[in-house]
A and B are shown apart, each in its own frame.
Chain A
């Protein structure tokens, strides 16, 4: 083999290895999905469950509402093997969403996140298309879910709740989330509840 050709081939190999290495290194430096303990108020299932699902969701998104029965089925089927963690990801175009997330976070502070979460998704058309203020609707939901309504109402004006939601959304964006519902199933990113269910069942079938 002539020396220029050998030089070309070896340079190509080094260049390709370098370019692949750059991507792998940058991927290693990318942020990782959060690891949240058992006391995290927006989690269901044992902390040591073999399948950990982190859901990035928006309360006003119809696809997120459609994900609810899929996730519930998964939770019912594998109560000890699946852990579901909810992360706030209110989408920009949804005008009612920020308040809905705020209200849900207030419910989480009273350890009643999941019933409130289910209610928000089940009655999504009612509050998302309601005329005027939706605070009254959320206060009614809080009352029906057995929350301390005074505390809930105080929490609705607490700006630190908004910061928590925004920080969670920013962290999600940093992980590559840009649509809802998006999931990390044992760290693997998937979009859509059916894909999350498939991935969870694939892991459990091993």
Chain B
């Protein structure tokens, strides 16, 4: 199956953004929730009563949205959700004094014991790129090699029309 150059770029972008979300979610899900609670507490912008709930829900959202995006299941919805989550991360980081005061410290977004550790400044840049790519993907009409293409269009994974 031939693939257009533009499609190839957005296919890679979709898998990359999906992988970052899925990895961040899974790394946190496999660690005690108290670790992510401690990270959220450090940001100093959430009410303490919200933190246990957020620490348990956010990793599941990242994991599911990331995997849906990689698999291309409901890709426009998944991309829209990913862009919203990335925007929420940007707002959180932007409103926290931590970014200015100690932007070089580990953001804790990929768990504590995994191989990937990014500083607050680095994750801000990654979230910005994720937001732009996911937002663009949410308006895309073509999702090659996606579950959506197989399920709805039945054209071997190529979907050149709008998602239903």
Seen from chain A, the residues whose Cβ lies within 8 Å of a Cβ on chain B are 4-5, 7-8, 11-12, 15-16, 19, 23, 26-27, 30, 173-176, 178-179, 182, 189-191, 195
Contacts and interface: CB of A to CB of B under 8 A. Distances in A.
B63 A23 contact: yes
A174 B37 contact: no
B88 interface: no
Given A8-B148, A191-B34, 9 more contacts: A11-B147, A12-B73, A15-B67, A15-B71, A23-B29, A27-B29, A176-B31, A178-B113, A191-B35
A144 B113 CA distance: 40
B30 A8 contact: no
A174 B37 CA distance: 18
Contact of B38 (A7, A15, A175, A191): A191
A178 B63 CA distance: 22
B151 A179 contact: no
A53 to B, nearest CB: 14
Contact of A4 (B26, B32, B33, B164): B164
State which size class the interface on B falls in: 20 to 34
A125 to B, nearest CB: 25
B30 A189 contact: no
B74 A8 contact: yes
Interface string B132-151: 00000000000000011001
B112 interface: yes
A128 B49 CA distance: 36
Contacts of B112: 176, 178
B2 to A, nearest CB: 25
Interface of B: 26, 29-35, 37-38, 63-64, 67-68, 71, 73-74, 112-113, 147-148, 151-152, 164
A65 to B, nearest CB: 19
Contacts of B151: 4, 7-8, 11
12 contacts: A4-B164, A5-B164, A7-B151, A7-B152, A8-B74, A15-B147, A19-B63, A27-B29, A176-B31, A176-B112, A178-B113, A179-B35
Nearest to A184: B32
A16 B29 contact: no
A176 B74 contact: no
Contacts of B152: 4, 7-8
B163 to A, nearest CB: 10
A164 B86 CA distance: 43
A17 to B, nearest CB: 11
Contacts of A4: 151-152, 164
Contacts of B35: 176, 178-179, 189, 191
A172 to B, nearest CB: 10
Contacts of A8: 74, 148, 151-152
